[in-house]
Amino acid sequence: MLKKVLVVDDEKVLNDLLSGHLRNKEGCVVSNAYDGQEAIDMVNGEDFDVVILDVFLQKKHGIDVLKHIISLNKGTQVIMASGYMDTAMVNEALKIGAVGLLVKPFDMNKLKDLLLKALTKRENYIKDKKIPKTILDVNFIGQSEIFKKTIVSALAAAKLNSPVLLLGQIGSGRHSFANFIHQNSNKKDGHFAEINCSNFLNALFEKKLFGCEQGTQDIASEEIGLVDEVNGGTLFLHEITDTPIEVQQKLLRFIESGEFKKIGGSKIQKASVRIIASSSKNIDEAVDNRMLRGDLYYHLSTTTIDIPPLKDHKEDIPLLVEYFLRGKDSISCKKVSNEAIQKLMAYDFPANILELYNIIKNAELISATDVISEEHIILTNNIEKPKEEIVNEEVIPVNIEKEQIEEALKINKGNKIKTANSLGVPLKTLYIKLEEYKIT
């Protein structure tokens, strides 16, 4: 495989001579930069195996460029180049992470030795960081140690048939991990479906989950539940602590035995469904406050995976930014300045990857040039949420509760007592909601 090398030197003649030698004698694919800032922009936008970097450059000093390359954590190896040997500078460069120093005029044998050393270190880095192909198939972006460990845990969980509990903050990528576990499990040929437990009141949640027999609640035909629809596949229960408490016993029975009954039905039915649940809330507090049954939690937490917040793997931010600008859903040709990247790296992202996506897409819109600069990076939580299919994070309709109440009223032919009972709420609460939503 051809090796990609970036030669950075503001002396054009030397730059071109060295580049020609690397292409013709060493078989490398070579790119060129003629000042420090250009080098930073290039390594931000492209992966190189090796950078041969002059110390004294225009716009950015070579040591500053070296620090930036190392901070990207891409495994790019750097060979420093200088017109003279400066022991203090060499020691500083080696301490930062450079492979070695070439002194001008270049000794081509020395260049070959350092290039071989750099490429060996690069190959070892790639080998150590290698991610299974299946992971790449679901667009996981990240090479940090903590993120890799999370992926390895998810891959191990995928090989089991037991439930999985994903814990993580909003926007951290729980949907992506649930989908990844499904894609790498023995259920991968079946359907993957999800239900947001926050979206449904009691009876409607049970009906959505297990279905309803014909004639029950005055429905004209039998309704199929999600466990039937995804039989042989995976069901993702998003925000499990919001599951109506009255339904949790039935859900527990299904997890234990695969058995369930439709609403209004007497026949015990079975389905083979892999259950993955998630929560952004403190799960122990939810159990203590009786929002989540302890026995249900016990069964769901057979395998628990903590998904790290973005602030704990900031070294993945440059990779994520690149993906958001160059990914399959983008046609952007814009680059991000080093100052903009540094501004992002200094921020803690309370809404995680979801927020980073919003910030980058907003910056992409307001930047009038082909460079996203520091001033285009607006650190706010108020940018409109992206579409679910892009960020793999569920978007909840704000009027879902109103629609549920209207549906329940229709089923119960306007009888408010029956409606309140079917929704599992006190009659007083129903009247408050009717007034709030102006439902007559």
- Report the pLDDT value the prediction gives residue 327, as an integer from 0 to 100: 61
Distance CA 192, CA 194 (A): 7
pTM for the whole thing? Answer: 0.58
Which neighbouring-strand residues pair with 79? 52, 100
Cβ-based neighbours of 12, under 8 Å, separated by 6 or more: 34
Residues forming CATH 1.10.10 domain(s) in the chain: 400-436
Phi, psi of 348, deg, nearest 5 = -95, -10
CATH 3.40.50.2300 is held by the domain 4-129: yes
- Report the pLDDT value the prediction gives residue 391, as an integer from 0 to 100: 39
Instruction: Give the Å distances, CA to CA, from 77 to 16, 288, 337.
Output: 20, 51, 21
Strand order in the sheet with 77-82: 29-33, 4-8, 50-54, 77-82, 100-103
Question: Is residue 75 left, alpha or beta, with left meaning phi > 0 and alpha meaning psi from -120 to 50?
Answer: left
Residues forming CATH 3.40.50.300 domain(s) in the chain: 134-306
252 half-sphere exposure, CB direction, 13 A CA radius: 15
Would you give per-residue pLDDT tens digits along the chain (440 residues)? 558 899 999 999 899 999 999 988 888 889 999 999 999 999 988 888 999 999 999 999 999 999 999 988 888 999 999 887 778 888 888 889 999 998 888 888 899 999 999 998 888 777 655 444 333 344 577 778 898 899 989 999 999 889 999 999 988 889 989 999 999 999 999 999 988 888 776 668 888 899 888 766 555 567 888 999 999 999 999 999 999 888 999 999 999 999 999 988 889 999 999 999 999 999 999 999 999 999 999 999 989 999 999 999 999 898 888 888 876 555 567 888 989 999 999 999 998 988 898 899 888 888 888 899 999 999 865 444 444 333 333 333 334 567 667 777 887 788 887 777 766 666 767 777 787 777 87
Distance CA 422, CA 23 (A): 74
Cβ-based neighbours of 421, under 8 Å, separated by 6 or more: none
Residues forming CATH 3.40.50.2300 domain(s) in the chain: 4-129
Distance CA 40, CA 338 (A): 7
- Report the pLDDT value the prediction gives residue 390, as an integer from 0 to 100: 35
The tokens for 157 are: 């969980």
310-391: CATH, from 3.40.50.300, 1.10.8.420, 2.40.50.100, 1.10.8.60: 1.10.8.60
What amino acid is encoded at 264 in this protein?
G
Distance CA 358, CA 387 (A): 10
Which SS3 state, helix, strand or coil, does residue 346 take? coil
Assign domain 134-306 to a CATH class: alpha beta
- Determine the topology of domain 400-436 in CATH: Arc Repressor Mutant, subunit A (1.10.10)
